[in-house]
């Protein structure tokens, strides 16, 4: 995008305000994830790394999913973008009979979820807002990281927070907590739909996280909305440059004025694109 911006500036004779042109951060899929991804996911994840979250949001909403953004959680690495696929675990308040039944049937689901995680997976823990106990911590995160996992999300708390913050995973949570999972809560369901910050997350959903929250993209429309967002990048950048050059907002947004529409056509023609 910065290259593109410079081109634009050169072409237009703009740039009276060079100090204002703050290049958008360039996001990349972290190496420990990228190298393990399938070819198809490499394309999808990279696309989602390169577009504005709000552009993707527009597509998700247009497809009939207006309630798709989680903004109640805090990321441990605010400057990093997260792209991944949801693997869900549901917690409930601790209760002896159910706990004994579940834990005698197999491993705790935080361990299981990290052990079974596929490259690019994000573990998503529904904890009902509970922060007096962590859902999991460093051990799960380390195994997840080795498996190529992309992040962890909880509407609750994680422990070992400084260690998590030092890993190349993104982590979203309400708060940290030193206390382990027992005796406050327990994991009860795996790979079921869950509630996080007022949004339903389904196993397999594509998650796109920025510093202000996480966009939940149903898997079936992920390619489509990623593609559509990519298509709007050029026009949005053109509009942004018009504003940076001093044009009135009324001539630029939400629609280009007649004069600017023509400029845009010429610009596209000059680049050899369809007008």
Q: Which residues, 101 to 120, sit near a copy of itself by CB under 8 A?
A: 107, 111, 114-115
3-state secondary structure the chain: CHHHHHHHHHHHCCCCCHHHCCCCCCCCCCHHHHCCCCHHHHHHHHHHHHCCHHHHHHHHHHCCCCCCEECCCEECCCCCCEEEEEEEEEEEECCHHHHHHHHHHCCCHHHHHHHHCCCCEEEEEECCCCCCCEEECHHHHHHHHHCCCCEEEECCEECCHHHHHCCCCEEEECEECCCCCCCCEEEEEECCCEEECCEEECCCCEEEEECCEEEEECHHHHHHHHHHHHHHHHHHHHHHHHHHCCCCHHHCCCCCCHHHHHHHHHHHHHCCCCC
Q: Under the criterion CB under 8 A, does residue 175 sit at the interface with a copy of itself?
A: yes
Interface mask toward a copy of itself for 202-241; x: CB under 8 A: x-------xxxx-x--x-x------------------xx-
C-beta closer to a copy of itself: residue 105 or 270 = 105
Q: Under the criterion CB under 8 A, does residue 165 sit at the interface with a copy of itself?
A: yes
Show contacts with a copy of itself in window 58-77 (CB under 8 A). 61, 64-69, 71-72
Question: Could you say which of 3, 13, 20, 258 contacts a copy of itself (CB under 8 A)?
Answer: 20
Closest separation in Å from C-beta 275 to a copy of itself: 24
C-beta closer to a copy of itself: residue 246 or 272 = 246
Per CB under 8 A, the segment of 3-11, 14-22, 38-46, 260-268 that binds a copy of itself is 14-22
Q: Give CA angle at 154 (41, 69), nearest 5°.
A: 65
C-beta closer to a copy of itself: residue 100 or 269 = 100
C-beta closer to a copy of itself: residue 199 or 206 = 199
Q: Please, what's the b/e burial string for 73-93 (b: 16 or more CB within 10 A of its CB; e: otherwise)?
A: bebbbeebbbbbbbbbbbbbe
Q: Under the criterion CB under 8 A, does residue 176 sit at the interface with a copy of itself?
A: yes
Kindly list the distances between the CA atom of residue 167 and the CA atoms of 32, 33, 95, in Å, as whole numbers in the listed order: 11, 12, 33
C-beta closer to a copy of itself: residue 114 or 170 = 114
Interface mask toward a copy of itself for 124-163; x: CB under 8 A: ----x-xxx----xxxx-xx-xx----------x-xxxxx
Q: How many amino acids of this chain bind a copy of itself (CB under 8 A)?
A: 87
Closest separation in Å from C-beta 269 to a copy of itself: 25
Show contacts with a copy of itself in window 34-53 (CB under 8 A). 52-53
Closest separation in Å from C-beta 7 to a copy of itself: 19
C-beta closer to a copy of itself: residue 116 or 273 = 116
């Amino acid at each position: 995008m910065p290259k593109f911006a410079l081109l634009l500036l050169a072409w237009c004779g703009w740039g009276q305000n060079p100090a204002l042109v703050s290049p958008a951060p360039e996001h990349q899929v972290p190496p420990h994830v990228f190298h393990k991804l399938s070819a198809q996911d490499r394309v999808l994840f990279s696309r989602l790394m390169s577009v504005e979250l709000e552009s993707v949001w527009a597509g998700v909403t247009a497809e009939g999913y207006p309630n798709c953004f989680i903004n109640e959680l805090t990321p441990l690495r605010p400057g990093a973008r997260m792209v991944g696929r949801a693997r869900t675990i549901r917690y409930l308040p601790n209760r002896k009979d159910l706990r004994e039944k579940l834990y005698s049937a197999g491993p705790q689901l935080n361990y299981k979820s990290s052990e079974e995680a596929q490259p690019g997976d994000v573990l998503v823990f529904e904890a009902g807002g509970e922060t007096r106990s962590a859902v999991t911590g460093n051990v799960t995160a380390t195994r997840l990281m080795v498996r190529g996992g992309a992040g962890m999300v909880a509407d609750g708390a994680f422990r070992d927070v400084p260690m998590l913050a030092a890993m190349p995973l993104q982590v979203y949570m309400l708060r940290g907590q030193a206390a382990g999972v027992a005796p406050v809560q327990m994991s009860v369901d795996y790979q079921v739909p869950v509630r996080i910050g007022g949004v339903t997350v389904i196993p397999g959903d594509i998650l796109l996280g920025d510093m202000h929250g996480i966009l939940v993209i149903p898997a079936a429309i992920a390619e489509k909305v990623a593609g559509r967002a990519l298509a709007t990048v050029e026009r949005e950048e053109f509009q942004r440059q018009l504003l940076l050059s001093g044009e009135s907002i009324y001539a630029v947004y939400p629609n280009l004025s007649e004069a600017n529409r023509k400029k845009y056509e010429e610009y596209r023609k000059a680049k050899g694109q369809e007008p």
